[in-house]
Structure formats: C-alpha cells, structure tokens
Amino acid sequence: MTEVLRRGRASLALSFFAQGVAFALLVTRIPAIQDRYGVSDALLPVFLAAVPILAGVGSVATERLVKRIPPSRLLRWSQPVVLLALLGVGAGDGLAVLGFALALFGLAVGALDASMNMLGVSLQRAYGRSIMLSFHAVYSLGGILGASLAWAGAHWHLALWVSYLPVVLVLLPVVLVGSRWYVDGKGDEAEGGAEGGAASETGAVGRGQGVVFKALLPLCLVMTFAYIGDSTVSNWSAKYLQDVLGSSEQLATVPYNVYMVTTLIGRALGDLGVRRFGAVAVVRLGALVAAAGFAVVAVAPGAWAGMGGFTLVGLGLCVLVPQTFAAAGRLFPGASDAAVARLNVFNYVGFLVGSPLVGALGDAWSYRGAMAVPMVLVLVTFVYARSFAPQPDRYGGGHERPRTADVGRGSNGV
C-alpha cells in the first residue's frame, strides 16, 4: 500500500505540473492571441471572462459526476482535453474556433482542477500528514516553466501553434501514462455513515451527511479573497510598477516572476510549517504577510519597494488555497469530493471579481487606494482561520498519524 501511495502522489504531482505549464502558456500569451484573431479591446474581456465562468460550470458538473465516476477517471480524460484545447487556441483561424477552444478549455479546466484537488485531499488523508502544499508547489513550478516558454516564444516571434505544439506533444503522452497510477479515495461515504454518530464528539460536520453550505461558506470566502489577491498581482503588478511607481517597461515584468518564485518557495516549505505548527497558525501567518505585502505596495515610494511588497504577497497568499482545499476535506470527511468541487467554484469567482474590481477602483479613485481592497479582504481570512482547525485528524503538532484504510486501489488496478 505504501508503494501505491508513493506512485499515486508522484503521478498526481505530474498532473499539477502539467496544468501549471498549460495555464501559464494561455494567460501569458493573451496579447498574442488577441493579435492573431483580431479580437477587439471591447470583445477581449468577454472571451477572458468566459473561461472562468465555464470552469465553474465544469467544477459543478464534476461534483455530480464523481457520484458515479471516480475522480481519477475524470482527471485522466480532462487533462488531455485541456492540452488539446490549448493547441486549438494557438492553431485556430477564426473567432468561432477561438471561442470553441476557449470554451472547451474552461470546461475541462474546471473538471481538472476539481478532480486534482479531490485526489490530493484523499492522499493527504491517507498519508496522515500535510502534503497538499507540495502539489501546489509543483503547479507553481509548472507555471514558471510555462511563463518562461511563453517569453521565449514572444522573444523569438514564434507563432502560437509553434510555441504550443512541442509542449502538448511532450506533456500529453506523459500525463496519459502517469494517469495509470492515480489513487482514488475509498470509503469516504461509508466512513461517514459508520461514524455519523461520532460527529458531535469530533466536531466533523460532514460525517453521515452531504455538504452543508453554511459550514463551507467561510472556506468559500477565503478561497474568493485569495484569488482576488492573486488576480490583482497577475493582472495589475506590471501596470502598477510602470504607471504608478515609474519603473521601466522591462522592470515592470519582474514582479509577477518574483511572485511566482516566492509562491513556489512558500509552498515547498509550507507543509513543514503545517506539520510543525498546525494549519491555523500557518493560515494566520500567511494572511498577515500577504496583507502586509499589499500595504507596502500601496505606500511604496518606488519600484523596488513595490517589488518587495509583491514578494511578500506571494509568500503570504501561497499557503491559503492549498490549505483551504485540505480544510474542506477535513470538515466534510464523508463528502470530501463534493466539498472540494463546490469550493473550487470560488476559485473562479475570485478570479472574475478581482481584476475588474481593482481596475474600476483604480480608474475611479487611485491604484494605490485600490491595493487596500485585497489587503482588507486577505485580512478577513484571519477571522476565519479557525475553520482550518483539523477535525478530527490533526496534521501537525505531533498529532500526525498514518491512515491508509480510506484509500483504495490505484486507478490502474494496483
């Protein structure tokens, strides 16, 4: 069983990595996509908004589908669709093709994100210690590679399909082969029914019942606020440094790269912090550091101080999303897949709200003042930190214990 878990963890990490590469290749080449298809500035937001909206639809559909289909099977087939849709975005020849490819990408990404995190939550339960941050660290690594490949494609003026095709040709067979070793959770619902009478003693909300949205709501808010902060950095850091802090165009490209690197570092080390100090302490520290980063950005006298602020934001925000998924799995041990799928929708809500909100406030008021919005929202996470308390399993603080009984066979029948 230990070998099965190790292979399951490695194959799932590979899936996170491939998704990080694919998503970065899409979002970092948006100007090139706009030029290739002649998308007007007025129409571009419609195309961009369609992706997270349809991803939310895909996540909701996944919640329904996992009642009949194992998450591993959904992940196995949604990831190739994401890669092929990415290639379609680069190789299409009209707005209709672009719209279809982006719609397919969005729907598949919703299923992919939800099923990946479902498997991550069940594996963490099986390991009996925090490993969720390591998966998201690998996602960040993939994002850095994807952004670097996108930069190379732009630097050498390569056609989009020329940039995308080699990546798809490499990743597609790799993820298909790796999918043989995915490990599904087993017995969550049965465990919930068997232990439903103990819910009052353990404090676990989800044993013996479905997902209670009122109990999940604090985590949904944290997910939304985290992605509002993330989209603020992704979409506005370059403009902020150049237009507000007076940096050069070249220097303005640095904050997002630094943000991604610090996200990778924070997530790579974050599991150790959770094991040592507990999830609540790590989430509270992350919220304070991220809020401090936005405060530095808002009052920064120059570009280098602004970059320092965005660096702090990356170090703080990076722990929130993985720990939110993990907390949902602990809160609803009898319905963790459904909880993860429902929570995943708020990933896209935050992405949809964040960038337009900051842009509107920046235009109507000031971009310095607009940075106070994600700062305050991230601070609200501190209030909800108790929702991350392990129940009934404590990952960290000397209370870890191995659990393998709730994990079934690998999806290849191992």
Angle between helices 254-277 and 320-331 (to 10 degrees): 40
For residue 55, the model assigns a pLDDT of 96
Question: So what's the pLDDT on residue 198?
Answer: 32
Contact 210, 363 (CB under 8 A): no
Do residues 129 and 106 make contact, with C-beta atoms less than 8 angstroms apart? no
Contact between 225 and 377 (Cβ < 8 Å): yes
Please choose, from the candidates 111, 102, 89, the residue with its C-alpha nearest in 3D space to the C-alpha of residue 33: 89
Looking at residue 209, its pLDDT comes to: 58
Domains of the chain by start residue, with CATH: 2-402 (1.20.1250.20)
Indicate the DSSP class of residue 412: T
The end-to-end CA distance of the chain, in Å, is 9
- Among residues 382, 390, 409, 17, the alpha carbon closest in space to that of 185 is found at 409
**Segments in the chain below pLDDT 70:** 1, 186-209, 391-414
- Position 196 scores a pLDDT of 34
pLDDT of residue 391: 61
Reading the block at residue 281, the tokens are 């302490």
Give a three-class secondary structure readout of 146-169.
Answer: HHHHHHHHHHCCCCHHHHHHHHHH
Q: What pLDDT, on a 0 to 100 scale, did the predictor assign at position 385?
A: 92
pLDDT at 201: 32
Q: What is the pLDDT of residue 186?
A: 62
